[in-house]
Structure 1
Amino acid sequence: MYATAQDGTKIYYETAGETGTPILFIHEFGGNYDAWEPQMSYFARRHRCITYAARGYAPSDIPTDLEQYSQAIAVEDAVAVLDDLGIEKAHIVGLSMGGFAVVHFGLTHPDRALSLTIAGAGYGCEKETEEYFKGVSLTVADKFEEDPVAFAEVYGRGASRVQFENKDPREHLKFVARLARHDKVGAANTMRGVQARRPSFWDLEEGLKACTLPTLIMVGDEDDHCLQPGIYLKKMMPASGLLILPKTGHTLNLEEPALFNLHLAEFLAQAEAGAWKQRDPRADPGQVMRTD
């Protein structure tokens, strides 16, 4: 099935499950709609699950114009998928690039979200590495544009991906194979238009503080450049909780699918019950020990 974005781009999506509240899964740069299979299979038992291929990822359209790629456009594509299905509100779940989309979804369309799950998000947010990240994103774009099959072998074994390979080499091979299928134009434009130009979380402070949606932040403890951004989101977002998975890298939902599903299921249940509340004002982060 295809949704039509505001600029006419066709966005491919799949669904699983017919009952329960909807969950929209938004994939990372290194994935595609099918990277959510462990979650689609599990959560379809109790939820209406939707996954889609971002623009630039087949079988969605692959615009050749760089200006048809941006963080704001990525959010509107997610809304277009919900609109095509006639879904007013959904739990919004994203990994990495998809996690950034979830943050911006919550800031720009809070009325369309039941909750937010932000997993493995933060690359380029740390101010000391912000400019470096923008530059390396352009290099990655060039590499994918030259030869996505060859570069998938390099990109797929980065510092926060080897944890996945060590734990589950068979599934990691599938991940690298998925990378190798990236369209060279779509991958390059996504890197240049979305990744290299998206704002840091530190630039969104006022919006984050005002966002009261139930929020789960997930980070692997060996995903170094997402740890501090994850802690920052926890400090800024009043109804957020932070989960750090031990001995875990970037590809959370595939590297630790059982833990990912377990914690996501508990969070969704609490959010739907109204039990995932804003932080108690008595939990003052400036207090060390109470004395009066």
Structure 2
Amino acid sequence: MAIALSSDDVKLYYETTGEGEPIVFVHEFAGNMRSWELQVRHFSRRYRCITFNARGYPPSEVPEAVSAYSQAQAVRDIIAVMDAAHVEKAHIVGLSMGGFAALHLGLNFPERALSLCVAGAGYGAEPDRRHQFRQESEASADVLLSQGMEAFALRYTQGPTRQPFKHSDPRGYEEFVNMMKTHSALGSANTQLGVQRERPSLYELGDALAKLQVPTLILNGDEDWPCLAPGLMLKRAIPSAALSIIPNCGHTINLEAADEFNRVVGGFMAYAASGRWPMRDPATMADTITGMEQARK
């Protein structure tokens, strides 16, 4: 492991494996750098894979103040890891919380991204669910601080979007739950309050999304209901976006369907690196179904 120093002097632990074009993997709230093991084993044969633990996830440092955690700081932490690893540009692959961070990196530091994979991003983004999501984030923090990490992990991993993983891969799901139990209760609570609860809704980013030109893949499981509508919105809003859906799959798609995830992401990155990734033709967004309405007029 190596250490990156964040913009506010928080130590972030990261690892690099393999050689080639760099990929930075950004983990979800319930995961950590080890969550990407099935991707690192696959992609490190041809790429330089960089994984790290977000702040609040030991052995990275756990700042005690909620104010040290935010969506903007999560992006700055990715940049800090890239700088420490001497990486100027990379493919950024993020899941859920990491998918939000990957997208915001593309919006704020497009010059640092070869491509963006925004996977499983959408929790709490829909305007009519913002209040509910903020309440659930606060409830999560309360359980973490009052009952501890193990009790919280057992409850959190029983959520509706984790059920497909639980049923399709009982052994993998058990490993996932046990890994989450090892996280810091304080770091997880602060992440819920500072990052999850306070991040801007994707639906508030319309103007910025419309300007994004970095090759972008929106990737979701078809049983990950909180992310499906936001995923369609991102596809419509981002002119450089492609959308892919993995069937019979929930939120933890890089573990539930690792082979399909690796295939889709690998093909996307190769296409993006070719220099021929397409920007959407505005004609495809015309307000007609078949195009024959113009003919009738």
Q: Same fold (TM over 0.5)?
A: yes
- CA deviation digits over 1:98-137, x for unaligned, max 9? 0000111001100000000000000110011101100110
User: Secondary structure at 1:164's aligned position in 2?
Assistant: helix
After superposition, residues 227-266 of structure 1 pair within 5 angstroms as 227-266=228-267
Q: Following the alignment from structure 2 to structure 1, what is the Cα–Cα distance between the partners of residues 178 and 272?
A: 36
1:179 aligned partner: 180
Alpha-carbon distance change, 38 to 285 in structure 1, aligned in 2, over 3 angstroms: farther
User: Secondary structure at 2:49's aligned position in 1?
Assistant: strand
User: Secondary structure at 2:226's aligned position in 1?
Assistant: helix
2:208 aligned partner: 207
1:288 aligned partner: 289
Q: Following the alignment from structure 1 to structure 2, what is the Cα–Cα distance between the partners of residues 162 and 40?
A: 25
* Coordinate RMSD, CA, aligned: 0.9
Shift in Å, 1:281: 2.8
Task: Report the number of matched residues.
Answer: 291
The sequence identity of aligned pairs, in percent, is: 47
Q: Following the alignment from structure 2 to structure 1, what is the Cα–Cα distance between the partners of residues 119 and 223?
A: 13
1:136 aligned partner: 136
2:92 aligned partner: 92
- CA deviation digits over 1:159-212, x for unaligned, max 9? 000100101000100110111111011000000000000000011110000001
Show structure 2 runs of 5+ residues with no match. none
2:191 aligned partner: 190
Q: Following the alignment from structure 1 to structure 2, what is the Cα–Cα distance between the partners of residues 142 and 31?
A: 20
Q: Following the alignment from structure 1 to structure 2, what is the Cα–Cα distance between the partners of residues 125 and 285?
A: 26
Q: Following the alignment from structure 1 to structure 2, what is the Cα–Cα distance between the partners of residues 226 and 250?
A: 8
Q: Following the alignment from structure 2 to structure 1, what is the Cα–Cα distance between the partners of residues 130 and 220?
A: 19
Show structure 1 runs of 5+ residues with no match. none
The 8 Å contact of residues 15 and 49 in structure 1, kept in 2 or not, is answered as yes
2:105 aligned partner: 105
Shift in Å, 1:153: 1.2
Q: Following the alignment from structure 1 to structure 2, what is the Cα–Cα distance between the partners of residues 119 and 9?
A: 26
Shift in Å, 1:58: 0.6
Shift in Å, 1:275: 2.5
Q: Following the alignment from structure 1 to structure 2, what is the Cα–Cα distance between the partners of residues 222 and 43?
A: 26
Shift in Å, 1:277: 1.0
User: Secondary structure at 1:161's aligned position in 2?
Assistant: helix
Q: Give the TM-score, by structure 1 length.
A: 0.98
User: Secondary structure at 1:194's aligned position in 2?
Assistant: helix
